Structure 1
Amino acid sequence: MHTSQRGFTLVEIAVVLVIIGLLLGGVLKGQELINSAKVKSVVSDFRSTSTYLFSYQDRFRAMPGDDPGVANRLAGAVRASTGGSVGNGRIEGLWNSTTPTDESVLFWQHVRLANLATGDGRSPAGDGIAIQDWLPRNAVGGRIGVTGTPPIAGWAGTFFICQDNLAGNFARQIDIAMDDGLPASGSVRLLPGGAANGVAINQTDLVDSGIYTVCAAF
């Protein structure tokens, strides 16, 4: 008796490889679309946050967070007592501060109570408030913050918006979308991940796998 063994034909193997290629292509394309959506969301957060500030300033003739008369304007609002000098026209305190009485933290309560931004308008120092949960986050879970103090020495601007926990490829795309694509120049600059301030990242040091803080000057 003769036993015959039948393997896959070249056509069958080719069909399988095509199907695998299509599946991999779909997965990669889907991931690319997700990443693109996250970058757009982060860029939108920069623009929205600046709009909150300008709108508040236009309505009340004061900076949110730095407003000395906020308690009389907005029910439940807290006047800052740390982070800087209230009423001097600058939002002081570190952009990533977690001190509930800092100007840079109370910025968020003021714009929320003014119905310019969504979120919890209670005092960040209130009972039951977890400050890390109360503060706003971007699409990748990083902090969004505002300060009037340049996070990079000598950088000109009225105020600065920073976001962290951003991968190098995200940070590069954000810089290209908003500025010149160079991490150490222009109105958008990069810092090491989680840094409150420091020296801007050079182009040669920027790697896709790294984690960075992206700041924009306004």
Structure 2
Amino acid sequence: MNKRQQGFTLVEIAVVMVIIGLLLGGVLKGQELINSAKVKSVINDFRNTSTHIFAYQDRFRAMPGDDPGVANRLAGAVRASTGGSAGNGRIDGAWNSTTATDETVLVWQHVRLANLATGDGRSPGTDGIVITDWLPRNAAGGRLGVTGAAPIAGWSGTFFICQDNLSGSFARQIDIAMDDGLPASGTIRLLASGASSGAAIAPADLTDAGLYTVCAAY
């Protein structure tokens, strides 16, 4: 008896390859859209946070976190007792502090109680509050923070907003969209991820796969 072997024809193989290509293209395009949305969210966090601070300053003639009379202005608000001197016109302390009484932490309670930002307005030192959950996070899961102390020596600004856990590819897009695209110059600069201060990342050291802290001067 003659045995007949069966297999895929060239047309069938071509159809399968086209389908696989379309699926891969859809997945890659979907990932690109997700990444683009995250970058836009991070940029919005920079812009919204600066708006909150300027609005608070305009309303109360004081910086949130540094406001010495905040307890009299906003019910439940806590005056900072660490991180700097309340009332000196600057948000003192590390941008990524987790000390409940620091100015850089209480800045978030003050803008929330002033109805300028959303979030839990209770004191971060309240029993039952996990401060790392109470503090705001960006779209990449990193910290979002504010400080009046320049995170990079010689960098001028009234205050600085920093976000960490951002990939090099995200950092490039943010820098290009908001500044000059260079990680060590301009109003947007990069640090090692999670660093409260240090030297700016040199252009030659910036990699897409690396993680960085992106800071903006205002």
Whether the TM-score (by the shorter chain) exceeds 0.5 is yes
Residue in 2 that maps onto 1:152: 152
| CA distance in 1 between partners of 2:136 and 2:101 (Å) | 16
**Which runs of 5 or more structure 2 residues have no equivalent in the other structure?**
none
Residue in 2 that maps onto 1:83: 83
SS in 2 for 1:184: coil
Q: Deviations over 1:191-218 (max 9, x none)?
A: 0010000000011101111110000000
SS in 2 for 1:119: coil
| CA distance in 2 between partners of 1:172 and 1:196 (Å) | 20
Residue in 1 that maps onto 2:7: 7
| CA distance in 2 between partners of 1:151 and 1:39 (Å) | 22
Residue in 1 that maps onto 2:170: 170
How do 1:170-189 residues align onto structure 2 when only pairs under 5 Å count? 170-189=170-189
Per-residue deviation at 1:7?
1.6
Residue in 1 that maps onto 2:100: 100
Alignment root-mean-square deviation, CA: 0.5
How many residue pairs are counted as aligned between the two chains? 218
| CA distance in 2 between partners of 1:170 and 1:180 (Å) | 15
| CA distance in 2 between partners of 1:17 and 1:208 (Å) | 30
Residue in 2 that maps onto 1:57: 57
- Asked whether 1:142 is paired with 2:142, we answer yes
SS in 1 for 2:94: coil
**Which runs of 5 or more structure 1 residues have no equivalent in the other structure?**
none
Q: Percent same amino acid at aligned positions?
A: 81
Residue in 2 that maps onto 1:207: 207
SS in 2 for 1:216: strand
Q: Deviations over 1:86-136 (max 9, x none)?
A: 101100000000011110000000000000000000001111111100000
Residue in 1 that maps onto 2:32: 32
TM-score w.r.t. the length of structure 1 is 0.99
| CA distance in 2 between partners of 1:91 and 1:166 (Å) | 24
Q: Deviations over 1:41-67 (max 9, x none)?
A: 000000000000000001000000000
Residue in 1 that maps onto 2:116: 116
Residue in 2 that maps onto 1:23: 23
- Asked whether 1:72 is paired with 2:72, we answer yes
